[in-house]
A and B are shown apart, each in its own frame.
Chain A
Amino acid sequence: MIKIDDLSYNYPRYKESVISALSLKCKMGSVNVLLGLNGCGKTTLIKIIAGLLDNYIGEINIAHKNHQKLSIIERSKILAYVPQDINFADEYSVLDYILFGRVNTMKFYASPKNDDIKKVRELASEFCISHLLEKTICHLSGGEKQIVSICRAIIQNTPIILLDEPMSYLDIKNQHKVLEQLKRVVEKGDKTILLSSHNPNHALYLKGYVFLMKNGKIIKSGESKNIVTINNLQEIYGEKICYADELPHREISLLL
């Protein structure tokens, strides 16, 4: 579904590569977590795949199509992107915001019809956010905002969803809320998900495929249960790490 070969990228006017000779492969219907410290290149990689950064070296194929040859509209029908925050949408209602996800299905002069609103209503009910639809974005909690963003990505009806650190600004309760909803999407099995995170517990919770990143490279990859190990994590985090076995599912924490 996503196949990257020998990808390198450096920001304009910077000599140092943020991504260097990176290769990865995400299977159809899988959940994939890019795990690594802040600044290791996770967001850059997500943005390159989302088509937000050009002039990279290497080859990216998405749904068997060359990434660089895709037009903006074609790409929007394959990839949906969930940004870290949605602050510029503060004054819109949740309904309006989710409806924006339907724009790539409409003619340039059209606006949402009853059918689009009905689809949003059904999705909102599925994600237990029907009560939020009339609220404005600025009145939502951080977790609710992320769930609304995920709903917009789903209404875009693409086979791939990219999420850029969806839990970065959230407290533990809200992180759990978002993870729960993501798990629902994953369990359906019709979407390929690639998300970035600096928290190994997210990868364990989602039981997905993990790519451990360090200095713009993938140093290890595989099933989360095999990759999220103390030795591997110490290699990228450089700190003492332990299992917290008494928690309901295996968790990892820094040994303070």
Chain B
Amino acid sequence: MKISLRYNRTILKYIGLIIGLTVFIILSFSRSSFSYTSAAICFKCHKKSHFVGKVVHPPVAKGQCIICHNPHCSKYKGLLRDKEASLCYNCHKKDKILFAQGIEHEPVRKGQCLTCHDPHCSNYSNLINGRLADKCFKCHKKLIRHFAYIHPPFKKGQCIVCHDPHHANNSLLLKRDSDDICFSCHKKSKMLRVHKNFPTKDIGDCLSCHDPHGSNNKYMMRKFLHEPYKQNCSICHNKGKVTAEDCLRCHKDISKKLLSIHNHLLGAQGNGCIVCHSPHAGDSKALLRAPQLLLCRTCHEDTYERNQDSLYVHPNISNCAECHQVHGSSRLAMLKEDGNKVCTRCHETQGKFTHPIGAKARDPRTGQEMTCVTCHHPMGTNYKYELKLSGKEDLCIQCHKNY
């Protein structure tokens, strides 16, 4: 009995120790249990003048440096307690949920808040760490900035008049419907007057004709004009609503491509063509509404993210139409040709010496033809050569099981 009592007391001691240790650990990670150290200690070394500006981040103003920084050590640069975005979202919780909707601006998607924001202080609103336009053009280097006719907001670098720097439901990151944005400055009633010879009673889809940044054409008209638009509106606008059939009447080659297993007839109540193409004017001969990558990204955001986040990706994928038949294809993933020919057009060497592929080489798991894309995923993987699994062994033994 005595022995058993002693034994029980020992166990209770250990349990108590464990509980106490656990509480201590929890408390030590809980910042609320600490009283905030006055920033005076920090400012003994870090000059206070660096943390003063027109706009000061509230935690900085309150001297709450250790909300973000660990004063002793850290595995993150700047002695941060966590990754950039994780720290920000600790307070900006609602923004985290909001930004995840739709398409995220790349720095937001990558959690690189400090690309645009200064976490301490700034002379610009919203803690932007410099002139807004300078921030935008630092990444968007390829944007043409000099036009004969330039849109004033663009000239002034007021990008956020139209664009949401965090997220939007479209790949151009426009704050809302493009027409709404245009009409917020250019009153619709006035626009109706200046577009009085239009075949439709209403006006809209401003961006199908105008480049909102600028153009060398008068009225900021886009560079390439659709032939019927150039000649006479009534070529298309001759009876009620213009449908895809009207487009296909001229573009017969596209008509054939639509008779494929997968096509990009995108509904849109009968005129799916204008989802991607402007029927009036565009910046490319194909009259695409946006650069191809951005356009495809509108629906294929997941593929874009995969490409951005993977370790190994096929280079130069901005032209999706290089490999994919964008109008219609009867191949998997809407490839232009079968999974061998589409690759070996460029990768000739790999096409000549390769693991057996083609109709006589069948995947034992599915009976499907072996092709390049049986093993490779050009949109990106975390394995070298964009292989679906490690090419050292793991991939091989998916089929060669006995080895």
Same complex for A and B? Answer: no
Interface, chain A (partner B; CB < 8 A): none
Query: B interface vs A, CB < 8 Å?
Result: none
